[in-house]
Amino acid sequence: MSRVLIIDDTPEYIEMLGDILSDYEIFAAKDGKKGIQLAQKILPSVILLDINMPELNGYEVCRRLKLNKELQNIPVIFLTANEGTNFEEIGFEVGAVDFISKPFNTAILRARVSTHINLYKLQSNLKKEVANRLKEIKNLNKEMMYLAASIAEMKSKETGLHLKRVSSLSYLIATKLGFSENEAQELKMASILHDIGKVAIPDHVLNKPEKLSQVEWEMMQKHAIFGYDMLKESDFELMHLAATISLEHHERWDGTGYPKGIKKEEISLVGRIVAVSDVFDSLLDKRVYKEAWSPEAVKSYFQDMSGKQFDPKITQILLEDFETFLETRNSLEI
């Protein structure tokens, strides 16, 4: 049963409206403040609001309702004995959807309340449907990004788990740096593609167990540029973020990294974050060219490389909460 909230300082009108609208679940408040509190509690399908009330008049109550994210879409119908058009102009400006004049015409009152409740339900259902579809599309995009990035991992005989671990570790760093949830989630998604450029590296270089020759090392370094070139022309901002990460996650704080040799804050913050996440996971992982390092050895390495290979602030975040990062990484190992 739909809920109707009546906010009116006249008990007789509340009783009358309750009788006319007996097909609905009726709630009532005799002043604006209590009406707003009650609206937050019951989330009605429509609010019938008197204009002329002491303390908070109907206009101010409506304005406050529209500032509340939970209540702003609930239709507000003003109840008024006022004459003229000025009160209607003000009412529509503060967010009302309709007006019903006192004394009430029973048929008109029922029809208007029914119409606005049905419209509100339809809009709410449409928003839920859109939200569900957007969630599906977002999940599909995420899966497609994992799939694309996994191609590079498969070429290098690694598993997609490295991608997920770097993604989750980058998200963790971002939250500790004060990123908003949306920003951290975008980084989490974009970082999946940090090594996509490896698809363009020859297999004999990518999977060589011995030390690479100078020519082979120079070829390997090009994967950062290859990834950037693959992603930079996209129409989507998330891909632009991924392009930056691909290009800069092998740059070093001291300027001795590749491919551009930039240093410190010249390197994007997202590039510096993923640089830490990528190396942290890679060192703990067994690769074709090395055995897995112990956590103690990894911790010691980051202590030594702070301010050299890695941003010292990000390194400090990792070292101060090393066990949490280790647990996060290990939880995605299987």
- Could you list the active site residues? 198
Buried b (16+ CB within 10 A) or exposed e, 67-100: eeeebeebbbbbbbeeeeeebeeebeebbbbbbb
The number of beta carbons lying within 10 Å of the beta carbon of residue 334 is 5
**Dihedral pair phi/psi, residue 173, rounded to 5°:** -60, -45
Collapsed DSSP state (helix, strand, coil) of residue 261: coil
What does 152-212 look like in DSSP terms, one character per residue? HHHHTT--THHHHHHHHHHHHHHHHTT--HHHHHHHHHHGGGTTGGGGGS-HHHHT-SSPP
Question: 191: Cβ–Cβ under 8 A, 6 or more apart, which residues?
Answer: 166, 167, 170, 242, 245, 270, 273, 274, 277
Strand (E) or helix (H) holding 4: strand 3-7
What does 209-258 look like in DSSP terms, one character per residue? SSPPPHHHHHHHHTHHHHHHHHHTT-SSHHHHHHHHHHHHTT--TTS--S
Distance between CA 19 and CA 323 in Å, rounded? 64
Q: Are residues 257 and 237 in contact, defined by beta-carbon separation less than 8 angstroms? A: no
The amino acid that residue 223 corresponds to is H
